[in-house]
Chains A and B, each alone.
Chain A
């Protein structure tokens, strides 16, 4: 059962334009969402996160939007740069009740390519 899904395996964008990466989830108990970025031969690195009590979080060129009713989140990168080319993973966790230690469920990833 894939609880977190990234339905687009790849995305190609021109430098300077907006990149929009999408993620859907099925488990309504998830209350925290994260995006990780991964370069080849490296481990994933944390990019940005959002709590379920918010619908938007912004950090520089990166903005994450959460639509709880649709169980959907998206990552916007504006403007896109060639150095943003990487695999982007969406992840979710359930921290309700104070018993969780941050277990993450990941999506399959989306390969972003930003062309100069």
Chain B
């Protein structure tokens, strides 16, 4: 079974530029998550999709971050414009999660973003 795929693996940009990350979840997984992991901290949930609908985006900085999951499969996360504090690893995870039931989340390798 193929795992969660993410690209690119690394990205270096200057502040105020824009950047986009791509995620392909495990086939059949209805739920997709984007996390931000700043160095020395644990992953923090940015947005959660159930199929192509948003379940939780309470911690997404909506003035600069956006995400979509068209057709309920692949997802993209965009930052525009980027700030220095956006330097982090962006992790995508998927699970077959259903309401009221805890399912294991499977993580991709992440995209390491450095904003200069």
Q: A: which residues have CB within 8 A of B? A: 4, 6, 32, 36, 41-46, 49, 51, 89, 91, 93, 95, 97-109
Q: A43–B108 contact, CB under 8 A? A: yes
A36 to B42, CA, bound (A): 11
- Total contacts A to B, CB within 8 angstroms? 71
CA separation between A49 and B42, bound complex, in Å?
A: 17
- Mark out the residues of chain B between 65 and 116 whose CB falls within 8 Å of any chain A CB in the assembled complex: 91, 93, 95, 97-110
B residues within 8 Å of A by Cβ?
Answer: 4, 31, 40-45, 48, 50, 55-56, 91, 93, 95, 97-110
Contact A41 to B109, CB < 8 A, known contacts A103-B56, A108-B41, A109-B42:
yes
Task: Tell whether, in the assembled complex, residue A49 and residue B100 are in contact, meaning their CB atoms are under 8 Å apart.
Answer: no
From residue B34, how far is it (CB to closest CB) to chain A in Å? 12
* Interface pair A101/B50, CB less than 8 Å apart: yes
Contact of B100 among A42, A45, A98, A105 (CB under 8 A): A98
Set of chain A residues within 8 Å of B93, measured between Cβ atoms: 43
A106 touches B97 (CB 8 A): no
- Known interface pairs A102-B95, A106-B43, A106-B44. Does A43 touch B107 (Cβ–Cβ under 8 Å)? yes
B99, A101: Cβ atoms closer than 8 Å: yes
Complex: A95 Cα to B99 Cα, angstroms = 8
B4 to chain A, nearest CB (A): 7
